[in-house]
Amino acid sequence: MAATFQNLSGGRLLLNVVTGGESREQRAYGDFVDKEGRYRRCDEFPEIVTGLWTGEAVTFDGEFLRVESAQLQQLPDPIPEIYFGGSSPAAGDVAGQARRRLPHRGEPPAAVAKKIARIRELAEQQGREVRFGLRIHTINRDTSEEARHEADRLLEGIDEATIAKVREGLKQSESVGQRNMLALNRGSKDNLEIHPNVWAGVGLVRGGAGTAFVGSHSEVADRIEEYAALGIDEFVLSAYPHLEGAYQFGEGVLPILEQRGVWQHPSPVAATSSVPFGAQRAAS
C-alpha cells in the first residue's frame, strides 16, 4: 500500500508510525500488549518494512512479528521517510535504535534540547543518526499585537466548562507527551506564554500538539531559528483555519527565513519529491 501511495504521489509519502492509543482502546480492538510492549513491537515493524522496500527477501523472527521470505512485487520510489514520536523512556529507546525522524511537541527550548541530547546519545551508542522534528501550530501576523489578538480571539470562543471537560478526559491518557502538554497550560487561560512567542493555549481543548508560535512574521522566524539551533531539522506546522494559516506562513515567514539563508525554496524537481521543510534549509 505504501509503495502504491508513494508512486501515485510522485514520491511525496511520509509515514508516521504510532504505537497505538490508550491501553483500554487497544484492548477493545483485541490488542492486549501493554504500552512498553507496544513500543518494542513498533521497533520490529520498521525493520521489516524497510527491508521489504529495498527489494530484499525478508526473514524476521522477533518478539511480536515474524515473517519468512517476505518480498514485495512493487517497490516505492523513493523509499518513504518514517517518523516516530514519543516522550516516554521506552519511546526514546526505540527512536535511538533506528534512523527515524523523531517529532517533538512544542515544549520550551530547554525541554526539547534535553530530549534531543538523550535520544542522540542513545543513537550514537547504536552507531546511528536520528533526525528531529517539531510539531507545533503557528499564529503569525504583520505585528505582534495582531498575532496576540488572534490568539485571544480563539480563546474567547472557549468556555471554562469545555476546558474542564476536555482536560479531565486528557488527564486519563497514558501518554507522557500529553501530560507534558497539560502541565504547560494548567487548564487556565492565564499566563499561556511559556517562552517568548510560544503559546500553550491550543492544548486547552486539543489533544496532541498543544502549543503555537504566536508573533509577528519576524518573531516566528526567530523562534524557528532558535529551535533549529537546538537540532530540530524539520517543522510540522499547522494553523487555524488551515488554509488561511498556510498562506499567512508562506507569505509572511518563509521569505524571511529564505532571506536569512536558513531555508530555500525547493526546486520544481524537489517540490515533487519527499523533501520536508527542515531538509530544505540552506547550508550555512
Which cell numbers in the block locate residue 148? 496576540
In the chain, the largest separation of any two C-alpha atoms, in whole Å, equals 61
Q: Which residue has the higher pLDDT, 45 or 204?
A: 204
Distance, in Å, from the CA atom of 36 to the CA atom of 107, rounded to the nearest integer, reads 23
| 33 part of a folded domain | no
pLDDT at 121: 85
| 247 part of a folded domain | yes
pLDDT at 95: 53
CB 132 within 8 A of CB 114: no
| 86 part of a folded domain | no
**Cα Rg of the chain, angstroms:** 20
Q: Residue 214 above 60 pLDDT?
A: yes
Task: Enter the pTM of the model.
Answer: 0.81
- CATH no. for residue 246? 3.20.20.30
Distance, in Å, from the CA atom of 160 to the CA atom of 187, rounded to the nearest integer, reads 9
Range of the domain at 278: 134-284
Q: Say how many domains are in the chain.
A: 1
Number of helices followed by number of strands (H, E) in the chain: 12, 10
pLDDT at 279: 37
What confidence tens digit (pLDDT) does each residue in 127-152 have? Answer: 878 888 899 999 999 999 999 999 99
Distance, in Å, from the CA atom of 91 to the CA atom of 101, rounded to the nearest integer, reads 13
Place of cell 519527499: 274
| 204 part of a folded domain | yes
Mean pLDDT of 226-235: 93
Which cell numbers in the block locate residue 41? 513491537
Distance, in Å, from the CA atom of 110 to the CA atom of 99, rounded to the nearest integer, reads 24
Give the count of beta carbons closer than 10 Å to the beta carbon of residue 66.
12
> Residue 114: how many CA atoms within 13 Å on its side-chain side?
7
| 282 part of a folded domain | yes
In which band, very low, low, confident or very high, does the pLDDT at 269 lie, cut at 50, 70 and 90? very low
Mean pLDDT of 57-66: 95
Mean pLDDT of 252-256: 96
| 269 part of a folded domain | yes
| 102 part of a folded domain | no
What confidence tens digit (pLDDT) does each residue in 163-183 have? Answer: 999 999 988 888 788 888 999
pLDDT at 178: 85
pLDDT at 126: 78
Which cell numbers in the block locate residue 210? 498543544
pLDDT at 211: 96
Distance, in Å, from the CA atom of 175 to the CA atom of 169, rounded to the nearest integer, reads 12
| 99 part of a folded domain | no
Q: Residue 267 above 60 pLDDT?
A: no
Cβ neighbors of 154 (< 8 A, separation 6 or more) are: 139, 201, 240
pLDDT at 87: 60
Distance, in Å, from the CA atom of 189 to the CA atom of 147, rounded to the nearest integer, reads 16
CB 277 within 8 A of CB 235: yes
What confidence tens digit (pLDDT) does each residue in 70-124 have? Answer: 999 999 989 888 887 766 665 556 654 555 667 788 899 999 999 899 888 888 8
In which band, very low, low, confident or very high, does the pLDDT at 283 lie, cut at 50, 70 and 90? very low
